[in-house]
Amino acid sequence: MNKPITIAIVDDHAMFRKSLAILIGLLPGHKILFDASNGQDFIAQVKPEFLPDFVLMDISMPVMDGYACTAWIKKNLPSVKVLALSTMDSDTAIIKMVKNGAKGYILKDADPDELKIALEEIQTTGYYYNELVTRKIMRSVNHLAEDQHKTGIFAKLSEREIEFLKLTCTELTYKEIADRLFVSVRTAEGYRDNLCEKLNLKSRVGLAMYAIKNGLVNL
């Protein structure tokens, strides 16, 4: 008997995880290993002796999002294949997930048959990108080489800068943001100034709007 293809689901919506697990259970030769509510939960649950073949990865999650978790998997569990499964269809989200190691990217409202096709394609060819994703990647590939283009810059932001961007969308003061990041107020203000310069923005409002537009936070 062939060894089943094992899958872990990482998504912060419990109902979606359970529904997806049921769908996966209907695919012959596929087995759910475990599910997790965010990247940190995945890291806590994954066992070196029982690695999943695939991780179905959401992007926007609390504690540790899909960008950071996918990068962690690429570095620490290179044999594990990540398939991004998200509602976000922005160029920047797709490019950053691919850059961080995702082998495929499909939208949550896709036909269930596409999930089956994606898993099969990644298993046999190593990757799966549908027409939508391929078009966005091709449109952005030149932009990634241009340091001053916002899509390229977004893909190069550090995790610390992304964390700061998320906090600019809250009602926290800069002092409270600094406390949350365990840095001085001057350092927090330095993050702000550097990001404004990188992204050609002028204010905290501009940074917050940029974070929302690129799917770092949900309204």
Task: Return the higher-pLDDT residue of 135 and 9.
Answer: 9
Number of domains in the chain: 2
pLDDT at 79: 95
Confidence label for 158 from pLDDT (cuts 50, 70 and 90): confident
Domain ranges, residue 29: 5-141
Do 24 and 108 lie in a common domain? yes
Kindly tell me the burial class for residue 115, based on how many C-beta atoms sit within 10 Å of its own C-beta (0-12, 13-18, 19 or more).
buried
* CATH number of the domain residue 208 falls in: 1.10.10.10
| pTM, 2 dp | 0.68
| Statement: residue 142 has pLDDT above 60 | no
Do 94 and 202 lie in a common domain? no
Joined tokens for residue 166: 């998320």
Inside any domain, residue 147 = no
Do 15 and 45 lie in a common domain? yes
- Please compute the mean of the pLDDT values over residues 7-35 and round it to a whole number: 94
Do 198 and 136 lie in a common domain? no
pLDDT at 143: 47
Do 184 and 95 lie in a common domain? no
pLDDT at 175: 93
Task: Return the higher-pLDDT residue of 125 and 138.
Answer: 125
pLDDT digits (tens, 9 = 90+) for 36-93: 999 999 999 999 999 999 999 999 999 999 999 999 999 999 999 999 999 887 777 8
Separation CA 198–CA 194 (nearest Å) = 6
| Statement: residue 5 has pLDDT above 70 | yes
Start-end of H helices in 77-111: 91-100
Separation CA 112–CA 122 (nearest Å) = 16
Do 87 and 176 lie in a common domain? no
Q: How many CA atoms lie within 13 A of 161 on its CB side?
A: 18
Q: Which helix (H) or strand (E) holds 54?
A: strand 54-57
Most confident of 42-46, 120-124, 146-150, 159-163: 42-46
| Statement: residue 100 has pLDDT above 50 | yes
CB 45 within 8 A of CB 37: no
Nearest CA-CA partner of 215 in 79, 77, 65, 6:
65
Nearest CA-CA partner of 57 in 73, 77, 78, 79:
73
